[in-house]
Amino acid sequence: MLDIPLPLPAPDLKRSDDAGAERRAAVPSTAVVGIFIILLLAAIQYAREFLLPVVVALLLFFVFVPLQRRAQRIGLPGSGVAAVLVLSLLMGIAAIFFLLSGPIMEVANNLPDIVRDITARIEAARDVFLAVIQNFRAGAENDIPDLRPARIAEDGENGDEEDDLLMSTVSGALLYLTETPAMVAQVIFALVLLFFLLSSSDLIYLKIIQSFDGFGEKRAALTALREVERNLGGYLGTVSLINAGLGVSIGLAMWALGMPVPLLFAVLAFLLNFIPYLGAVMGVVLASVVALLWFNTLSSVLLVGGVYLLLTSLEGQLITPAFLAKRLRMNTVLVFLSVAFWAWMWSFLGMLIAVPILVALRVIAEQVPRWHVFANLLSGSAAQLPATSELEMPPSRPSDAD
């Protein structure tokens, strides 16, 4: 009997071709997404002068639109309320700049002397530190000298270093002065855009709702807008009031301690407190440096830095957690990364709006069902990890063959 081989089944060429095409298409699509992200980041950084006032205007819109709506309910026109709000904000900014213009011009005129004095005091502080170490090693108890500049006036070897530091400081100050007109233009652009947003808030909401189909989707869109408005506006309003209170407290404390220009410290404390973690450190360092320039004793310098640190610690550990809703607290790791990212993209002004942008993304993600995982990642609410036994795989059931 002959063994006749049976014919093998023909391979499914169509299925293999489809699988290969999918694999080949996956690589270009991934590359396209990566290139798109790189180009998007470059565009955001390149268009900073335009995007920054737009983002600020949108954030302020969610803060002021509830006030405008309440005013409209009592019969006031929306455009008039928007004009009053924007003009009030403009007058507040102009008043702060007017009060600070005198001290800032005085500092600019005396900048060379200030730089030399700071350099001399830093050298004197270094001598104090070295003297303390030497006395500690020798076991002697000598009087610690004050921080008055004595070494630089006698030592002429550091003249070149002083000149280099002076030139770099002056060039940096001139660079900021040359950017002042552009900053003023950005402020005006943001306020004008804020006026148009507030005066057209009902029309904007109506157009967004009309873009959805069906009554259920329109109602969900309106609910999402109201929720974003309530949460984001509430967060920004609460944080702004807390920062304003901190600025007033630090300004009064600096005035009581005899620091120069306490109003400047109040404004800086208000702005720096929008930057989590790094803002308090920057404020303490700045206050300590100015105290080092202004006072002649180490105890006064430590007192100024300690008071600033105490007030910011009380605000961060007690006041803000008590007034800020728990559901709006953010993941600390992502907050730090957001501050670092926007500092890299938009420098100091990016640091100021980093957390509000993150809060806005979280509030929006909470309203989109597909983005709930992202919203949970941004959340800073404490959650207990499941037990190890709950994460283990259930034991496999014996098969019928066994």
Confidence band (pLDDT; 50, 70, 90) for 154? very low
Distances (CA, A) of 375 to 37, 136, 333: 21, 55, 14
Instruction: Select the highest-mean-pLDDT range: 153-162, 176-185, 340-349.
Output: 340-349
Token pair in block for residue 98: 């007017």
User: What is the per-residue pLDDT across 345-372, written as a single tens digit (0 to 9) for each?
Assistant: 888 888 888 888 888 888 778 777 777 7
CA distance 270 to 293: 23
What DSSP character marks residue 74? T
Q: What is the pLDDT of residue 164?
A: 52
Q: What is the pLDDT of residue 12?
A: 52
* Opening angle at CA 358, ends 209 and 250, nearest 5: 125
Residues above pLDDT 70, as percent of the chain: 68
CA distance 308 to 190: 32
Confidence band (pLDDT; 50, 70, 90) for 138? low
CB-based contacts of 180: which residues, under 8 Å, 6+ apart? none
Q: What is the pLDDT of residue 170?
A: 46
* Opening angle at CA 229, ends 226 and 235, nearest 5: 140
Contact between 275 and 351 under an 8 Å Cβ cutoff? The reply is: yes
Residue 271: name the closest of 253, 246, 291 by CA. 246
- pTM over cut 0.85: no
Element (H, E) at 231: helix 215-256
Instruction: Select the highest-mean-pLDDT range: 240-244, 276-280, 383-387.
Output: 240-244
Token pair in block for residue 125: 């502080």
CA distance 285 to 352: 18
Confidence band (pLDDT; 50, 70, 90) for 166? very low
Q: What is the pLDDT of residue 109?
A: 67
Instruction: Choose between 127 and 18: higher pLDDT.
Output: 127
Q: What is the pLDDT of residue 15?
A: 53
Other residues' Cβ atoms within 10 Å of the Cβ of residue 150:
14
CA distance 320 to 160: 48
Q: Which amino acid is at 25?
A: A
Query: What one-character-per-residue DSSP string does 153-191 give?
Result: HH--TTHHHHHHHHHHHHHHHHHHHHTHHHHHHHHHHHH
**Is the dihedral angle over the CA atoms 217, 222, 228, 230 positive or is it negative?**
negative
Query: How much is the average pLDDT of 36-60?
Result: 88
User: What is the per-residue pLDDT across 89-133, written as a single tens digit (0 to 9) for each?
Assistant: 888 888 877 777 766 676 666 666 666 776 776 676 676 667 767
Contact between 115 and 169 under an 8 Å Cβ cutoff? The reply is: yes
